[in-house]
Amino acid sequence: MQVRVGTHGGRAAVAAAVAMLLGGCAGAADDDGKTSASASAGASAGAEKAAAGGTGKKAAAAARGGTLGPAGSACELPVSFGVAEDWKPKAVDAGKELAQVSKGEDGDLAGELAAAMLRQGPVTAACEIDAKPSGNIGFLRVWKGKPGDADAGGVLRAFVAAEKGVSEAKYHSFKTGGGVPAVEVEYVSTDKLLEETKKESAFAVGTPDGPVVLHLGGMDTREHDEMLPAFELAKQTLELS
């Protein structure tokens, strides 16, 4: 979605919405100065890796630092899975975030932007797990769908289709370590404005409470590949709550 803003107030509203939603992932990256180094070193290398399909090796699972999903955990979900050590989870209340944005000035504009960030295809953001405390720039995000939409493959394809600039999508079926049938995708996303290309991964499962999608994103392909062990841990440990 492209949003055109013609006033300073509109631009401020958009900036505020971006900063408050999903943990302010873009701005938080600058805290320890890693962004500039990783961006300059990883942008061209990331594009080359993405075009070549990344490392081509299956990542080993990361050390487990906790569990998400059960009642009382940082994010209560229809599934439970292990979280990599030092990664920081945070629940996302999409309805509340949208309501807060709509109350401010330029509510329609900010609300449209918020909706684009909090919803993708048939699923809504429910939890984000920040890799920054472990030394990487990126997130493992959990998205939930409505009960009844239990076709994991169809939901995952719709999720990917809702993202602009996607190419080279490769899907395959597998079972999680907890025995849950799942569908995984690896693809390349291109930001035409910034002329940057990177690799991304996601997988989806169906549950009685609706489908769940776990998506691994990063600033570039190098960050993505370095975070794959956390993604692998989720795959190996995921089970229905």
For residue 17, pLDDT beyond 70: no
Q: How confident is the model at residue 111 (pLDDT cuts 50, 70, 90)?
A: low
Q: Given this model, what pLDDT does residue 129 score? A: 98
Q: Given this model, what pLDDT does residue 97 score? A: 76
- pLDDT per position as a tens digit, 195-213: 789 999 999 999 999 999 9
Query: 32-93+121-240: which CATH number, 3.40.1000.10, 3.40.50.300, 3.40.50.150, 3.40.50.720?
Result: 3.40.1000.10
Q: How many residues does the chain have?
A: 241
Q: Given this model, what pLDDT does residue 107 score? A: 55
Q: How confident is the model at residue 63 (pLDDT cuts 50, 70, 90)?
A: very high
Across the range 117-145, mean pLDDT stands at 95
Torsion over CA: 164, 94, 81, 240 (sign): negative
- pLDDT per position as a tens digit, 162-182: 998 999 999 999 999 999 999
Q: Given this model, what pLDDT does residue 52 score? A: 36
Across the range 218-223, mean pLDDT stands at 93
Across the range 78-90, mean pLDDT stands at 97
Three-class SS of the chain = CCCCCCCHHHHHHHHHHHHHHHHHHHHHCCCCCHHHHHHHHHHHHHHHHHHCCCCCCCCCCCCEEEEEECCCCCCECCEEEEEECCCEEEECCHHHHHHHHHCCCCHHHHHHHHHHHHEECCEEEEEEEECHHHCCCEEEEEEECCCCCCCHHHHHHHHHHCCCCEEEEEEEEEECCCCCEEEEEEEEEEECCCCEEEEEEEEEECCCCCCEEEEEEECCHHHHHHHHHHHHHHHHHCEEC
